[in-house]
Amino acid sequence: MAGYIDVHCHLTGEEFDSVGGIEAVLDRAKANGVETVICSGFDLASSLIAKKLSEQYDEVYFCAGFHPSELDKYREGDLEEIRVLCSHEKCVAVGEIGLDYHFDDNPTKETQRELFYRQLKLADEVGLPVVLHSRDAAQETLEFLREHKEWLKKGGLMHCYSYSPEMTADFIALGLSFSFGGPSTFKNGKKTQECVQRIPARLILSETDCPYLTPVPYRGTFPNEPKNVKYVVDHMAELRNENLEELKNTIVQNAKKLFFKLK
């Protein structure tokens, strides 16, 4: 029987103190069949904590990088530290990186593009895939990635994919995979559900993006946890009219192929 995998979560904050701490969170994940979690950094500090968690717990791997909304914290030299983290045996990708034009007070588009450029280049230099965050910037992200396609040799993941079903073809042409989380279980998630149905099995992955975006049937509870990835995958199997065990197995294989350092 294949296990579940949460390819994108954030376990580095204090959100889990109220529910017994990280150890309890990981125990509950295990008890619910989740065998692997990839904890994503969003700045240097969280990337360093994620690394530490990966050294403490066998089932934890991590990504290192700067999220586009967190660039105010970026200091010259941080990318060199990220580069060092990338060589860690459990660092599976540069991430999460990308563009986020959702809030007016986000870092400027210019700043976001510059760090996106430098981190994409870094991923290529260290030979790792990228985990991409893109919000309200579909066309800009697509054009940017097309322009720098040569840096996507190790592939990449559109995490928590939220754009149109039509656009998936454009991202597939760039060699990217897709992961889905809580929003794919929401009643108002029709567009995302159509994506889940359309995407080729070899490109589909599962995540929670916890502590946010808790899936149905626990939507609205905080914090979300890796154990809940089960509800996402079970729902995906239903949407795709696929055997659950087969889908679980496919997702694990897809994850191992993209994040090739996973054991």
> φ and ψ at 244, to 5 degrees?
-60, -45
Binding region for Zn ion (CB under 5 A) out of 51-59, 70-78, 179-187, 204-212: 204-212
Binding region for Zn ion (CB under 5 A) out of 101-109, 114-122, 194-202, 209-217: 209-217
Which among 220, 205, 189 is positioned nearest to 155, based on CA atoms?
A: 205
Q: Which is nearer to Zn ion, 189 or 237 (CB)?
A: 189
Q: Which is nearer to Zn ion, 43 or 209 (CB)?
A: 209
Q: Is 114 exposed, middle or buried (0-12, 13-18, 19+ CB in 10 A)?
A: middle
The residue assigned the tokens 């949460």 is: 6
CB of 67 to Zn ion, least distance (A): 7
Q: Which is nearer to Zn ion, 11 or 237 (CB)?
A: 11
Which residues, 231 to 260, sit near Zn ion by CB under 5 A? Answer: none
Binding region for Zn ion (CB under 5 A) out of 114-122, 207-215, 231-239, 244-252: 207-215
**Number of other residues whose CB lies within 10 A of the CB of residue 108:** 9
CB of 178 to Zn ion, least distance (A): 14
Q: Which is nearer to Zn ion, 59 or 70 (CB)?
A: 70
The residue nearest Zn ion at its CB is 209
Residues near Zn ion (CB under 5 A) are 209
